[in-house]
Amino acid sequence: MKHSVIAALLGSAIFASAPVFADVPDFPHLETVGVGEITAVPDMAEIHVQVVVTEPTAAAAKQASDKAVASFIAKLKKAGLANKDIQSANIVLQPKYLYQQGKAPELTGYQAGRNVTVVVRELPMLNGLLDSALNEGINRIDNIEFKASNMDGLQSQARTAAIRDAQAKAKAIAGGFGEELKGVWQIRYIEQQPTPPMVYASAKVMSNGVGESYQNAQITVTDTVEVIYRISN
């Protein structure tokens, strides 16, 4: 009876913080959730910018958007960026109408938009590239996503920390009740995706001091592992 009570109490203690395992063991056991967290300073970024223009004709709108994107890409290549780090989306072209009550819609022009995504592998270049985007006609900076070039290594460190956390918790809890761990019965692992810091700003804001907006950016990588241990009978 002693062991059944311990197992029930320990299972209840973590019920609120962990999902229920698919298989519930019929022997004395201890469920633990290990969490690992690693922080790092980003050394690269992915920027998402856009040009949106409105012109009297569809051809003029397309030409204006294409010109801005082509000029920006030329500056990127001149700065040493590789083709694989530059992606420019297909054009979105649509008519613009003026709607007035009691009147038929009036065509006022055409709006063209193109998106460009750039991977900046040398973070000190970021401010200059954003300035180049604005100077070449890009009129929207949607967001900046900070990343680390060694994300696989950071994720591995977080996973190792989560495993050690689960082991330490299990040992401490079992020992506190005078029990011994008798090995692992089940492990449940769900791969985590890191949440990189992002800066959202309009073109106007970015042009007025982008440097101040990403000085203290950090990446936090977390991982979680759920383990069921057998405990002594």
Q: What is the predicted pLDDT for the residue at 197?
A: 65
- 84, two tokens: 């694989």
pLDDT for 160: 96
Q: Which residues of 39-67 are buried (b: 16+ CB within 10 A; e: fewer)?
A: ebebbbbbbbbbbbbebeeeeebbebbbe
- Is 18's pLDDT higher than 50? no
Which tens digit of pLDDT belongs to each residue from 116-138?
A: 999 999 989 999 999 999 999 99
What is the rounded distance in angstroms from the CA atom of residue 84 to the CA atom of residue 54? 30
- In a 13 Å sphere around the CA of 151, the CA atoms on its Cβ side amount to 15
φ, ψ of residue 86 in degrees (nearest 5):
-125, 125
| 198 pLDDT higher than 80 | no
The predicted pLDDT at position 96 comes to 96
Pairwise CA distance, residues 52 & 44, whole Å? 26
Q: Using alpha carbons only, what angle is made at residue 39 by residues 225 and 224, rounded to the nearest 5 degrees? A: 5
CB–CB of 179/232 below 8 Å? yes
The pLDDT assigned to 89 comes to 78
Residue in the block written with tokens 């918790």: 169
Q: What's the mean pLDDT when you consider all of the chain? A: 84
Flag whether the pTM goes above 0.75.
no
Confidence of residue 218 (pLDDT cuts 50, 70, 90): confident
At 179 the pLDDT is: 93
Q: Please give the helix or strand (H or E) that residue 65 lies within, else none.
A: helix 58-78
* Nearest alpha-carbon partner for 73 in 118, 131, 120, 127: 118
Q: Is the pLDDT of residue 57 over 70?
A: yes
Which pLDDT value is given to residue 233? 66
Residues in a beta bridge with 114: 51
Closest CA relative to residue 52, chosen from 138, 181, 150, 123: 138
Answer whether 129's CB lies under 8 Å from 47's CB.
yes
Q: 230 and 27 in contact (C-beta within 8 Å)?
A: yes
Instruction: Tell me how far CA of residue 75 lies from CA of 16, 33, 218, in angstroms.
Output: 54, 50, 28
